[in-house]
Structure 1
Amino acid sequence: MSLDVIVVGGGVSGLATAVVLAERGQRVRVWSAEEAEHTTSAVAGGLWWPYRIEPNNLVGPWSARTLGVYESLAGRPRETGVRLVPGTVVGGTVAELGDWAASVTGLRAAHAGELPPGHTKGVRARVPLVDMPVHLAWLRRRLEAAGGTVERRAVHALAEAAALAPVVVNCTGIGARELADDPGVVPVRGQLVLVENPGLTEWLVLPDDGGSESAYLLPQPGRLVLGGTAEEGDWRREADPATAAAIVERCARAVPEVARARVLGHRVGLRPVRRGGVRIEAERIPGGGLLVHNYGHGGAGVTVAWGCAHATAELVP
């Protein structure tokens, strides 16, 4: 088919953007260097919660719009991968959260009995927890239902796509450092451990003041996801055994049963943090084509995916 738009990048941001464009009548193809289950998005813990993302004045609207989409999908969790799950962020207060907090129904201060031993404050909320492999597969089916296609294709220059379509959308995440010649894009390495769930039905996040060694426990179907790390500038994609052991130990301080849980696997992803925040911007390229950027979502790609997708689509004629 002839194409109106090529979206480069097959993670949650690329697929959501492609869905919005296709459902508006554009002829869309997604180019992805990897199968969806091997993208950074697939590794994500899947909790809707703004993390390591700027600019603050736009994160709120993007997050709120995405929250609304997930709430509409949560009634079909086996199909969409989206569930609304209660949980706690330990150590903070409602007043310390950003403007996005106003969009979360029922957000409140945690009671003493809802906190792990040794902690005196926290925030309770019931928010989306997304099973990312299931959700990415659902996004692809929704795109195909709207007439779009996905092609596995490594891209060495965005000009390759511009030669085949009048509009190119750059959703390449960490790849934008090279493809968009943007040195402000830096990896923040996140490592996770997957274990058998000893019975947790709620998520729990214990942030680290330094930001590099938080602890979080996310109950996903068939597994409990333990995290995590935030190692800026670290490009390693393989799991480190010592780091994995430290993650389990941190999580077990809050939930002792985790120490005895059987390990199912390990995951590593590179969060695409961008100095200056998310870039959603259009530019003309040689030959008259249009290049639209949508990258730099940091640790909140899942949280802002639909808000950023719609903002990006508004730049496509």
Structure 2
Amino acid sequence: MERELSGEVIVVGGGVIGLTTALVLARSGRRVRVWAREPAERTTSAVAGALWWPYRIQPEQLVGQWALATLAVYEGLAEQARETGVRMVEGVHLGVRMDELGTWAAQVPGLSETAAGAGLAARLPLIDMPVHLRWLRERVLKAGGLLEVREVTDLNQVPAAVVVNCTGLGARSLVPDPTVRPVRGQLVVVENPGITTWLTSADEHAAESTYFFPQPCGLVLGGTAEEDAWSLEPDPRVAAEIVARCAAVRPEIAGARVLEHRVGLRPARDAVRLERQVLPGGRVLVHNYGHGGAGVTVAWGCAREAAGLAISAAS
């Protein structure tokens, strides 16, 4: 093992979970390094459509708490949308009812059933991830943290008394944790024909869904949720089906010029792993991974809990 970096906390993983956790730690006065095998703009987080909403993530009770804590942060960040990438945007979740959701739903400001009873309407955070990841990275540095592109192959060999594991899908081999699995999501970005609201029609257990999010880069169309699928190559047939499903809701999408195809692998797990593990020799490993399709939605709530575990261990 390399010489231990005395007093530092090393966060392994540079997506939205890792950077948010590092920022909370740095702001608490801890010396923090982020080790990531690739820059944030190349992580799964950068591909996300990034609407705040608990999707494909468990356990429900804890998720609700983490999500509401994160929502409160995003509402504040939306006041500086240009810098943070967070905007509050109106939209509708089709086919969703309040009584189908957990107790957290009653605490989401303005969340209500549509007049026609077709779903739930809300004004929710919609995040431009490239901008938001850049903002997180800059804030970590401003708070005194360090960011390094560095691949970790053994968590036991990371030279710090406290290590926070935010490696997402990488935890499958790194922990190792075979219960972590990919849920493949494919998106299509088209020129926005003038749509200003978001819409989702998604069954958490279905492999296909319909949604569109107006982002600065264009209108992001989705999507898919393919269990245990590892390919990062866009499938032209799937892309055409995504456009067709969205155009069935808003016909003007049919003629929109395609700008980009995206594929991301959601780091799914039966339940988020957020806990402290004591390693031989007294070193501490805090796990914060397995957020499925809702890493953006719970980032701040999970970061605060993970940071609390790390800080208590370092004290």
TM > 0.5 fold call: yes
Match of 1:117 in 2: none
Residue 238 of structure 1 aligns to a residue whose secondary structure is coil
Gaps of 5+ in 2: none
Match of 1:273 in 2: 268
Deviation (angstroms), 1:111: 2.1
Match of 1:23 in 2: 27
The count of corresponding residues between Structure 1 and Structure 2 is 307
TM-score scaled by structure 1? Answer: 0.94
Match of 2:109 in 1: 105
TM-score scaled by structure 2? Answer: 0.95
Match of 2:277 in 1: 283
In structure 2, C-alpha distance between the alignment counterparts of 1:49 and 1:57, rounded to whole Å: 14
Alignment of 1:134-213 (within 5 A): 134-161=131-158, 164-208=159-203, 210-213=205-208
Alignment of 1:30-45 (within 5 A): 30-45=34-49
Give the alignment's Cα RMSD to 1 decimal.
1.2
- Residue 26 of structure 1 aligns with an amino acid whose one-letter code is R
In structure 2, C-alpha distance between the alignment counterparts of 1:2 and 1:45, rounded to whole Å: 39
In structure 1, C-alpha distance between the alignment counterparts of 2:140 and 2:103, rounded to whole Å: 31
Deviation (angstroms), 1:210: 4.6
Alignment of 1:110-121 (within 5 A): 110-112=114-116, 121=118
Deviation (angstroms), 1:2: 5.0
Residue 74 of structure 1 aligns to a residue whose secondary structure is helix
In structure 1, C-alpha distance between the alignment counterparts of 2:205 and 2:67, rounded to whole Å: 24
Match of 2:307 in 1: 313
Q: Please state if 1:78 is matched with 2:82.
A: yes
In structure 1, C-alpha distance between the alignment counterparts of 2:303 and 2:97, rounded to whole Å: 30
Residue 219 of structure 1 aligns to a residue whose secondary structure is strand
**Partners of 1:187 and 1:232 within 8 A in 2:** yes
After TM superposition, the structure 1 stretch with the greater mean CA deviation from structure 2, 20-29 or 202-211, is 202-211
Q: Please state if 1:251 is matched with 2:246.
A: yes
**Partners of 2:221 and 2:242 within 8 A in 1:** yes
Deviation (angstroms), 1:288: 2.1
Deviation (angstroms), 1:155: 1.4
In structure 2, C-alpha distance between the alignment counterparts of 1:261 and 1:3, rounded to whole Å: 53
In structure 2, C-alpha distance between the alignment counterparts of 1:66 and 1:45, rounded to whole Å: 17
Residue 148 of structure 2 aligns to a residue whose secondary structure is strand
Residue 315 of structure 1 aligns to a residue whose secondary structure is helix
Name which of 294, 298, 303 aligns with 2:292.
298
Match of 1:88 in 2: 92
**Partners of 2:186 and 2:264 within 8 A in 1:** yes
Residue 177 of structure 2 aligns to a residue whose secondary structure is coil
**Partners of 1:3 and 1:28 within 8 A in 2:** no
Match of 2:232 in 1: 237
In structure 2, C-alpha distance between the alignment counterparts of 1:209 and 1:187, rounded to whole Å: 15
In structure 2, C-alpha distance between the alignment counterparts of 1:219 and 1:257, rounded to whole Å: 14
Match of 2:257 in 1: 262
Alignment of 1:113-132 (within 5 A): 121-132=118-129
Match of 1:115 in 2: none
In structure 2, C-alpha distance between the alignment counterparts of 1:247 and 1:315, rounded to whole Å: 41
Residue 151 of structure 1 aligns to a residue whose secondary structure is strand
Q: Please state if 1:60 is matched with 2:64.
A: yes
- Residue 158 of structure 1 aligns with an amino acid whose one-letter code is L
Deviation (angstroms), 1:287: 2.8
Deviation (angstroms), 1:3: 5.0
Residue 90 of structure 2 aligns to a residue whose secondary structure is strand
Alignment of 1:218-233 (within 5 A): 218-233=213-228
**Runs of 4+, deviation exceeding 4 Å:** none
In structure 2, C-alpha distance between the alignment counterparts of 1:226 and 1:18, rounded to whole Å: 31
Match of 1:215 in 2: 210
Deviation (angstroms), 1:191: 0.5
Deviation (angstroms), 1:209: 7.1
In structure 2, C-alpha distance between the alignment counterparts of 1:25 and 1:244, rounded to whole Å: 46
Gaps of 5+ in 1: 113-119
Per-residue CA distance 1:49-86 (angstroms, 9 max, x = gap): 00000011101110000000000000111100000000
In structure 1, C-alpha distance between the alignment counterparts of 2:170 and 2:223, rounded to whole Å: 22
**Partners of 1:2 and 1:27 within 8 A in 2:** no
**Partners of 2:61 and 2:102 within 8 A in 1:** no
Residue 76 of structure 1 aligns to a residue whose secondary structure is helix
**Partners of 1:33 and 1:155 within 8 A in 2:** yes
Q: Please state if 1:47 is matched with 2:42.
A: no
- Residue 137 of structure 1 aligns with an amino acid whose one-letter code is R
**Partners of 1:32 and 1:153 within 8 A in 2:** yes
